[in-house]
């Protein structure tokens, strides 16, 4: 069966510090991968998605970036965090055989920028 | 541009009664719709879906209805249980895309 991992589960970082959140998927190959952010009291905002190694689509211009160094690894990064980067970050995957019809989410990372 | 909208941010229902969560969309190219349930500090979990070729899909206590002409879908939970208390997101996808469009969520509280 497929599983998706995210770490860390919680993170407290000062403004201006770098960020690296990691997501890995097991039990599937060539998945579509997604990063979302849920800000307090708001819905799910798509940040990045990837259909393959090295292929990243950015949905929202900001100081975050994403990379996919391996087929089942998706990394969210920032060089300098802003207060507004605080939120709950979710990684998700979907299959690529035909059209993706369901996304499966990881447990999330709670990021607090102070 | 919010292509999927959930206009009710919260809903309270008595245990045993029906919960109805609503979702509207604007993109006529959406042809597959999903509902997710999310508890605090956890990732959303898939609940139920419906293809645009159907107008109803039922799974146990959960039923999703789709009205394509009105670009509206709803999730019915009956009977509601306290464990159903969570945030519910609707999502949509086009027949050619890999991008899921999510609504802003509705927080359901089922009162014992």
Number of cross-chain residue pairs from A and B with Cβ atoms under 8 Å apart: 60
CA of B86: how far to CAs of A81, A106, A114, B29, B108, in Å?
Answer: 30, 17, 28, 29, 5
CB-CB under 8 Å, A42 with B42: no
Q: Which of residues 41-70 of A touch B (CB under 8 A)?
A: 42-44, 46, 49, 51, 59
Q: What is the mean pLDDT of each run of 10 residues along chain A (114 residues)?
A: 90 96 93 88 84 88 90 96 93 76 90 95
The pLDDT of residue A41 is 64
How far apart, in whole angstroms, are the C-alpha atoms of residue B20 and residue B6? 12
Which residue among A36, A99, A104 sits closest to B46, beta carbon to beta carbon? A104
How far apart, in whole angstroms, are the C-alpha atoms of residue A32 and residue A98? 12
pLDDT tens string A4-28: 999 999 999 999 999 999 999 999 8
The pLDDT of residue B55 is 96
């Amino acid at each position: 069966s497929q599983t998706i991992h995210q770490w860390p589960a919680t993170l407290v970082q000062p403004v201006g510090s770098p960020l690296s959140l990691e997501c890995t998927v097991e039990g599937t190959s060539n998945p579509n991968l997604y990063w979302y952010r849920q800000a307090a009291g708001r819905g799910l905002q798509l940040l990045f998605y990837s259909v393959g190694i090295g292929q990243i689509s950015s949905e929202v211009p900001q100081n975050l970036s994403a990379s996919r160094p391996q087929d089942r690894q998706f990394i969210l990064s920032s060089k300098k965090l802003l207060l507004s980067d605080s939120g709950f970050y979710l990684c998700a995957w979907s299959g690529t055989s035909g059209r993706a019809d369901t996304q499966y989410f990881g447990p999330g990372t709670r990021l607090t920028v102070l | 541009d919010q292509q999927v909208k959930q206009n009710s941010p919260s809903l309270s229902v008595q245990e045993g009664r029906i919960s109805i969560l609503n979702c509207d969309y604007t993109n006529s190219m959406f042809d597959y719709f999903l509902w997710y349930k999310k508890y605090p500090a956890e990732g959303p979990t898939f609940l139920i879906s419906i293809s645009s070729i159907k107008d109803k899909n039922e799974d146990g206590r959960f039923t999703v209805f789709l009205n394509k002409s009105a670009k509206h879908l709803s999730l019915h939970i009956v009977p509601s249980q306290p464990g159903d208390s969570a945030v519910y997101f609707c999502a949509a996808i086009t027949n050619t895309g890999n991008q899921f469009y999510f609504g802003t969520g509705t927080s359901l509280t089922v009162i014992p």
